[in-house]
Amino acid sequence: MKVNNKQYRTVWIEGNDVCMIEQNLLPFEFHIYHAKTYKDTCGAIKTMIVRGAGALGTTAGYAMAQASMEAPENKYSEFISQAKSEIESARPTAQNLFYAVERVYNAACISKEKAVAEAKKVADEDALASRKIGEYGNTLIKDGFNILTHCNAGWLAFVDYGTALSPIYTAHHTGKKIFVYVDETRPRSQGARLTAWELKNENVPHAIIPDNAGAFLMSQGKVNMIITGADRIARNGDTANKIGTLEKAIVAKHFRIPFYVAAPTSTIDLNCPMGKDIPIEHRSEEEVLYQTGLDKNGNLVEILVCSPGSNAINPAFDVTPAEFITGIITEKGIISASEKDITSLITDVTQNNK
């Protein structure tokens, strides 16, 4: 994606530094964060300087490569093994993180050079998969469609293109007239801050809506389809995504509106039988109690927006059962959210990669 007439990826590596767009400052400031050590990169993952399934995976892969470069020769294996555990504990729900770390760790066991090369390969594959998801997803979008999406599964959530937004970008670039309803996505407002910023940057017609307005719009016949991303897809098709996704899926099924999940095959976890087995991250209550924005003087400030003294509960994800999902848009094509189709797809991918 171009920002200020310059082409960017969401995350990349320069020498030993992992560089990433500082997403906590968007849409008010565009800043590149440089993580100089693997611990710095872990910190960026934990504090959501970088977030989104593919971007987390790629960043974690780069962190593993950094650890390999930092490891002392006399304690190399011990160092990278400990680093692997630290990186994997940074965000527990996103399957892409574990997928990338495992690949780069196995390469690091051979050499530092192979670790860096494998991390870059993970990044390139993520960008290509997202582009292919856009091509397949575009076949589902008709001219004049109104599409609802939740959270941010766009360019910022992956290395490039995104998943849920990739079909939207492809449809827009091919001349289809579309409109996007952007869930604000409380508590961190990734929809209102990130998805809306992306769509505006690409001149895609859109409007930000309160999270609890989706059902009303669907009841009025104003939504033709829903596309969301995914942080982990279980073997049976149950899917974890940003909190609030489940509500949209339930309402969509009631009003017979197609509900699609867009995700690369790296998000599928065959070792996770069903949704109840997906670990759900619980984040700080301060994300609910406080909001960040610009004051009247253009200064970035954090303010309390809830009743002083009250506590908050902040689950970061929920799980949508497979029965509510119309289909899964992958880089290999569109499949049903069934164990048979998912297992067959991953088997084919694994065999082709051998």
Per-residue exposure over 146-183, b if at least 16 CB sit within 10 Å of its own CB, e if not: bbbbbbbbbbbbbbbbbbbbbbbbbbbeeeeebbbbbb
Residues in the chain: 354
Q: Which residue has the tokens 């469609």?
A: 145
* Token couple for 345: 């797809």
Active site residues: 231
76-88 helix and 95-108 helix, angle to the nearest 10 degrees: 170
Closest CA to 328 of 255, 213, 211, 239: 239
Please give the C-alpha separations between residue 118 and each of 29, 100, 149, in angstroms, as whole numbers. Answer: 32, 9, 32
